[in-house]
Structure formats: structure tokens, C-alpha cells
Amino acid sequence: MPVIAVDAMGGDHGPSVTVPAALAFLESVEAARIVLVGNGEAIAAELAKLRRQDVRERVTVRAASEVVAMNEPPADALRRKKDSSMRVAVNLVKEGEADACVSAGNTGALMAIARFVLKTLPGIDRPAIASQLPTRFGDTLVLDLGANVNCTAEQLVQFAAMGSALVASIDGIERPTVGLLNIGEEDIKGNDVVKEAAELLKASSLNFVGNVEGDDIYKGTSDVVVCDGFVGNVLLKTSEGLAQMLFEFLKAEFTRNLFTRFAAAVVYPVLMAFRSRIDPRRYNGATLVGLKGVVVKSHGGADVLAFTNALRRAYTEVEHGVLDRISQRIAEMHAVAPGGNGDGTGPLRAHA
């Protein structure tokens, strides 16, 4: 039975969100266990508010005396807080006591700790942050969303391989299409790193469909979109900001006067259906991909529903054996990559 370690103290709301979400998750998934990591008293207080004795049997509490602050420098969190709820949750994965861990805490700290404790998979230089975004036709997995501000062409190819394996294993798509984010479809466009990555991807065994542009993401042009972490972070936050502005403008128009308020009441179910279709809570749970362990990052401001989805994401990755799938895909790429000779010295060289 898969065990998920939860950093119960992480995020803006801590145990008041993580504990009810853990129980809600266990109610919907019968074959799973949860270890809540953090301040025992705070966790017990939240557990006491909830009935459901049946799912309580599948919950364990593991004490951790420290908490990583949301704005704490990752290096400090890594070096000084050896007993933080985040660190202990990641340790449980390392020690085999849990199959995955989920945290809504500080992203940089989670990445630093996970990388230090779990290490990267063979053939992967650096882990990336991957998340699914809604598109006109299904979802698209985009990576990297902010872990790596400077990427080499080889790293972009590794992201492509990991993203492809993730989508293949979770969505059951045999050969997911991979697009390289660029500023034009033509080969001559873009900077040197992107041009080189395109050449490597063409020569790889991945189902590379070429360059895609910003608007292709929401058109659902490819199953996977690859970019460096600076660009990925900007596009993710720009999207969040634009969606929020549009909702506010829509709300402003519907609350302008008596007539529009009446109109809003008439169309309320329609507006709610629209909103639920792109509810960011449905997409909560970004994967820290490329590590020797399943680590899922929830949005810091996640509510119970959103955090439950992040737990579900971690569970699904464990159930589908994504780690094996990624390792397998990377090994295949080494076998066929130009200049790759399987000893880790080719373009997809192993992490030193």
C-alpha cells in the first residue's frame, strides 16, 4: 500500500489545510497510507476536529521540531534545519518508509533538500519542476517552471525525456509529442541553446514535433512543452496574472449596476461551469522530476481541495511507477543519442 509523507507544516495555512486534505484524500483512495510530519500538538489538534475513525487508522504522525519559513533562503533551510517537517518528510522517502512526499512549503528549499537527500536519477544533471496546464484539448505538461534559470541544450533534452516519460506513464499516451518553446516555428529562430536543443531533440528517440510558441501551450499543440526555468516561471505567473485580471474584469462588469447584477444571477451556473473548467485548484501539484523519489510541490496558498489534488498527484505517480519509466526512457535515449555511448559521456551525460 503506497505511503505518502506529508509536510504538514508547509504552506500558508499549515495543518489547518494539510490535515483535513490528508483525510479527504484517504477517504477517496482506500489503498493508501499517510504520514503527517510536523508539530505533534498542532497536528493532533486538527485531527481531533475530524471524525472519520476509519481513515484515521491509515494516518501516522511523525514529529519534527522545525519549520522551513516560506521566504527562508534554501541554503539555510538545507544546512541549519535538519529537523524541519520538510526535511523529515523527504528523509522518509529516502529511507523507504514513504513512497512519495508532498509539501506546500518554500519551493527553493524543497528542491534543495530533495536534491541533497534523494539525489538525481542516473543521466539527469538537474531536476525540473513540471506541471500540467489546461488547454483547449486536454492538458499539456510544461517544464521547467522555475528550478533552473540557466539551462544547457542537454538539460532541455533531459527535461523533454522526463516530461515524455511522465505523460506516457500517467496519461497512458504511448509516444507523447514534445514541443520546444521558442519565439517562432522556423529552425533559425531563438537563442543558441534552443537551436542546439532542437538539433539534439530531432536526433533523439523522442516524438519531437519541433518549435512551439507561447500561444501553442493553450492550444494543446503538444503533450509536453520544454523550456528553461526562467521562461517557464514567467509564462506560468503571467498566465496566473492574466486569468486573475480577466476574472476581475468580468466580475466588475457583472456588478456594475442593478441590471448587470440581475443578469449575473441568471447566468450564475454558466459562469460557475466556466470557472470550474479552469479552476487552478484542479491543477495543483507540480512534480519535482528527475529525483530518486516522488516529490510533489503544492501551491503555498492551496486550500483543502487543492492540497488533496496534490496528494492525489503524488499517489498517481507512485501507482504508475513513473520513476522506473523515467529511468528507462533516459537509458533508451543514451542508447540512441548521437555521440551517446551509454557510458554517460554523450550529450545526455550522467550527473557527475
Q: Does 216 bind a copy of itself (CB under 8 A)?
A: yes
40 versus 220: smaller Cβ distance to a copy of itself: 220
| Residue 66, φ and ψ in degrees, nearest 5 | -120, 165
Residue 346 to residue 153: CA distance in whole angstroms = 13
Q: Does 235 bind a copy of itself (CB under 8 A)?
A: yes
Q: Does 336 bind a copy of itself (CB under 8 A)?
A: no
Binding mask 26-65 for a copy of itself (x = CB under 8 A): ----------------------------------------
78-86, 169-177, 230-238, 314-322 -> range binding a copy of itself (CB under 8 A): 230-238
Q: Does 280 bind a copy of itself (CB under 8 A)?
A: no
Q: Does 237 bind a copy of itself (CB under 8 A)?
A: yes
Q: For residues 39 and 97, is the Cβ–Cβ distance under 8 A? A: no
45 versus 267: smaller Cβ distance to a copy of itself: 267
Q: Does 197 bind a copy of itself (CB under 8 A)?
A: no
Residue 296: its H or E element: strand 294-297
| 3-state class (DSSP) for residue 288 | strand
Q: For residues 114 and 107, is the Cβ–Cβ distance under 8 A? A: no
Specify the amino acid at residue 173: I
5-13, 181-189, 284-292, 334-342 -> range binding a copy of itself (CB under 8 A): 181-189
By CB under 8 A, what part of segment 126-155 binds a copy of itself? 134-136, 146, 149-150
68 versus 323: smaller Cβ distance to a copy of itself: 68
* C-alpha neighbours within 13 Å on the C-beta side of residue 250: 14
Residue of 152, 218, 281, 282 interacting with a copy of itself (CB under 8 A): 218
Binding mask 255-274 for a copy of itself (x = CB under 8 A): -x---x--xx-xx--xx-xx
Q: Does 300 bind a copy of itself (CB under 8 A)?
A: no
Q: CB 135 → a copy of itself: shortest distance, Å?
A: 7
CA dihedral 9, 14, 19, 21 (to 10 degrees): -120
Residue 209 to residue 179: CA distance in whole angstroms = 6
The set of residues, in sequence order, having a beta carbon less than 8 Å from that of 327 and lying 6+ positions away, is: 121, 122, 123
Q: For residues 146 and 129, is the Cβ–Cβ distance under 8 A? A: yes
| Residue 245, φ and ψ in degrees, nearest 5 | -65, -45
Q: CB 174 → a copy of itself: shortest distance, Å?
A: 26
Q: Does 250 bind a copy of itself (CB under 8 A)?
A: yes
What's 90-135 look like in SS3? HHHHHCCCCCEEEECCCHHHHHHHHHHHHCECCCCCCCEEEEEEEC
Contacts to a copy of itself by CB under 8 A: 71, 73, 134-136, 146, 149-150, 181, 183, 186, 188-192, 213-219, 227, 229-231, 233-246, 248-250, 253-254, 256, 260, 263-264, 266-267, 270-271, 273-274, 277-278
